[in-house]
Chains A and B, each alone.
Chain A
């Protein structure tokens, strides 16, 4: 892992794999959507409304998975003080928030026809809502300091404390009474879901995972370029100050 922590090497390797990951994302999404919308059968109880599952469940898995990545990157940033880990953590947060939002909204749209309500304050729904606010709180906290290093450090601590929410979300359906159904894929004794529905679900889950890694790479690269821009401009401003002090004129045009 350390070999990739060098920003220059990271930029070179990520540039090489980025297009391939992008195309793989598109391909998997197309296959997954065709399976979810045309191939998968309607449920014997839920009818066609079950198709919401192929968005809702992968989005929920991603909400947890991205949070775990955010917390790991935060821990690495705190321990090794490595700027790349800090950037990685900060760029994961908006993606995780987006997946969590999709999970909450699609869950609501599924709950209304199946449970007769858009929302209940039970353990599963509330703990996922808390995670959504953790993502937003993390983003706000990171940008709340004038010194970006302090912001990154405060955010990292919040992200790591928030990890306690992950097992609560996962086991909430077993620990408390809830309208939400228990796990049917990742459970002891194997999945209870029929293959014709499991397959589209898994393809969509892989597609969402690759989508996340693709956008994560794009955002990390973007942030590294932005930092480079900032230091180039600062260097430019230094030159300008020196020229100004010596009474000379700047040779080139200066970036604003």
Chain B
């Protein structure tokens, strides 16, 4: 426990080290999540559209 507290204190720089890692996680993680969700949504919509109009599968670019 003592060790853990010591570790998280980061030699007195905890207020700078942890926010830096948190910002990286939030910004890059958020970017990854947003990209993947938009991608999956588009794929789903394309699948629905092609099922509704099977004849169009080849014709459309």
Contact = CB atoms under 8 A, between A and B. Distances in A.
Interface residues of B, number: 33
A48 B46 CA distance: 50
Interface in B1-49: 10-13, 16-17, 19-21, 23-24, 27-28, 30-32, 35-36, 38-39, 42-43, 45-46, 48-49
- Interface majority SS on B: helix, strand, loop or mixed? helix
A134 B43 CA distance: 31
Contact of A109 (B19, B30, B59, B61): B19
Contact of B31 (A95, A222, A233, A253): A95
B20 A105 contact: yes
A219 B16 contact: no
A252 B52 contact: yes
Contacts of B52: 252-253, 255
Interface in A58-105: 59, 94-95, 98-99, 101-102, 105
Given A47-B11, A52-B16, A98 B38 contact: no
A212 to B, nearest CB: 10
Contacts of B13: 47-49, 113
A165 B28 CA distance: 24
Contacts of B59: 235
Interface stretch (A144-152, A178-186, A224-232): A224-232
Contacts of A235: 56, 59-60
B39 A229 contact: no
A218 interface: yes
B17 A222 contact: no
Given A47-B11, A225-B46, A229-B42, A106 B23 contact: yes
Given A102-B24, A102-B27, A222 B16 contact: no
Interface of A: 37, 42, 47-49, 51-52, 55-56, 59, 94-95, 98-99, 101-102, 105-106, 109-110, 112-113, 211, 215, 218-219, 221-222, 225-226, 228-229, 231-233, 235-236, 252-253, 255
Interface of B: 10-13, 16-17, 19-21, 23-24, 27-28, 30-32, 35-36, 38-39, 42-43, 45-46, 48-50, 52-53, 56, 59-61
